[in-house]
Structure 1
Amino acid sequence: MSTSGVADPLAWLTSLEGVGSAYAATRDGIDVMLRDRGLRRTSPETTAESLLRGAHASAVLEGSSATLAEVRENGGDAIARDAVRLSTELLALVPTLKRAPLQALARLHAVAATGSVAADELGRPRDAGSAQRLRALADLLVAPTQAPALVVAALVHADLVTAAPFASHNGIVARAAERLVLVARGVDEKSLVVPEAGHLALRAEYESNLRGYRDGGRAGVHAWLLYGAEAFAAGAEASPLRRAAE
């Protein structure tokens, strides 16, 4: 994906049938939830709980068998510990994502994959093609656009999963990047929505739509975006503002 010569490289996404209305409805629902439930009761502990739930869900999607209770008690298995470690550093990367997105994406992988891959592979693309995909994605993240932030987040997520630019942990990195975009672009500044849990709740659709994004051309992108609006709504329902601690 290139931004050269294009005034708004993401405008075509919102022109796809049903995408604009689906994301407007989802954003309205998120805004209502955060406004009605969050402003009076939000605390750092609530944000930490959201990040923990998200890390657990992301780890399960990556193959972890740890339960949320196990993650709370002892960190769970290796995949869960990697996801939790990344979640604890995630919000500190908001300024970096805004200023130097390529650096932020590299840091996501370096944190998640520490101890799992060689030091010279941390944060580095697998090959020249992966490096090009990462640069193109970073260009999109700094390009002026009228596309909703939720759409941008969904696109970043799918592109990172399907390009698999790093030596490991691409799914965990992609889901963390999605959450980071929601914070950086003002959708969910306190990171109270749990998009990873939304994807886990819709796991079959999540995995099939990622395959469609990878292999299905424009139709696959369209289907992924429609799925994404549903998943973000499910992520809002999974917020600790709405659900008692498990």
Structure 2
Amino acid sequence: MTADPHAWLIGLEGVPSGFAGARDGIDVLLRDRGLRRTSPELTAESLLRGAHASAVLEGSGSSLDDVRADAGDEIAVSAVRISTELLGLLPVLRQQPLQAFARLHTLAARGILPDEMLGRPRDGEAASKLRGIAELVTAPSKAPALAVAAVVHAELISAAPFGSHNGLVARATERLLLAVKGVDEKSLVVPEAAHLALRPQYESNLRGWAEGGPAGMHAWLLYATEAYAAAADASPLVRP
């Protein structure tokens, strides 16, 4: 039997309870406020808001209105291009995560990097790290689904396996995992907007994950419990 790669986080103080609380909030939102008025338009709005927020975190200067008007800068265009194909990658991420990562990067960097670099890890070390992250996606685990999404997100950021746009790939993967793991199958919460609203904490805790050892990793997971609660509040179900 394959060891659970996420087993280490289950015993961390405040982590299981924090993710349970965040999951309860998302469940309440989707059950009590979403089921009767969920529509493809609401999912599209959530994806658009997420694309804008992810682009800003990647360095875009475009506003949400710019993105709505199809007038965003190059990074925003990349983020929107990802969002238009994102949910079609659900079965790919579930079964072949390496292919999903490659497709996300291709969508992000098309027209920016040379074609031979699209979807390809920077080097052998990056390829090895990417294979390890793919195993985190597919391995059976008793850890909360939200925690798995947070870990994969942080690992993709810290590994920076591609030549550009690693943040866009990581945040898109996080959103996909929330759907794949059954947390938010219609992709109505907006984790990217939560990270943008909490940007100083988001960026400092990502550095902690990469550089701060066990304490930094613990801090990232505690941050993620707060971010996922904020992701529910950012949903178009709450804020039309």
TM-score (normalised: structure 2): 0.98
Q: Which runs of 4+ in 1 moved over 6 A?
A: none
Asked if 1:154 corresponds to 2:150, the answer is yes
Shift in Å at residue 208 of structure 1?
A: 0.3
Out of 162, 168, 173, the residue aligned to residue 164 of structure 2 is: 168
In the alignment, which residue of structure 1 is the partner of 2:107? 111
Pairing 1:59-78 to 2, within 5 Å after superposition? 59-78=55-74
Asked if 1:205 corresponds to 2:201, the answer is yes
Shift in Å at residue 75 of structure 1?
A: 3.6
User: Which letter maps to 1:39?
Assistant: L
In the alignment, which residue of structure 2 is the partner of 1:190? 186
Pairing 1:31-70 to 2, within 5 Å after superposition? 31-70=27-66
Asked if 1:28 corresponds to 2:28, the answer is no
Distance 1:129 1:148 in 2: 29
Distance 1:138 1:74 in 2: 33
Asked if 1:121 corresponds to 2:117, the answer is yes
- SS of the aligned residue for 1:41 comes to coil
Contact 2:202–2:223 under 8 Å retained in 1:
yes
> 69-78 vs 14-23, which deviates more?
69-78
Distance 2:166 2:186 in 1: 24
Distance 1:159 1:140 in 2: 10
Distance 1:163 1:202 in 2: 22
Out of 128, 133, 137, the residue aligned to residue 137 of structure 1 is: 133
Pairing 1:83-102 to 2, within 5 Å after superposition? 83-102=79-98
Distance 2:208 2:186 in 1: 32
Shift in Å at residue 217 of structure 1?
A: 1.0
Distance 1:75 1:198 in 2: 23
- Cα offsets for 1:118-150 (capped at 9, x unmatched): 101000000111001100011121111111110
Distance 1:89 1:48 in 2: 11
In the alignment, which residue of structure 2 is the partner of 1:216? 212
Shift in Å at residue 6 of structure 1?
A: 5.0
Which ranges in structure 1 are unaligned for 5 or more consecutive residues? Answer: none
Contact 2:4–2:141 under 8 Å retained in 1:
yes
TM-score (normalised: structure 1): 0.96
| Alignment coverage as a number of residue pairs | 240
Distance 1:185 1:76 in 2: 31
Distance 1:203 1:157 in 2: 15
Shift in Å at residue 162 of structure 1?
A: 1.0
Distance 1:97 1:110 in 2: 15
Contact 1:75–1:84 under 8 Å retained in 2:
no
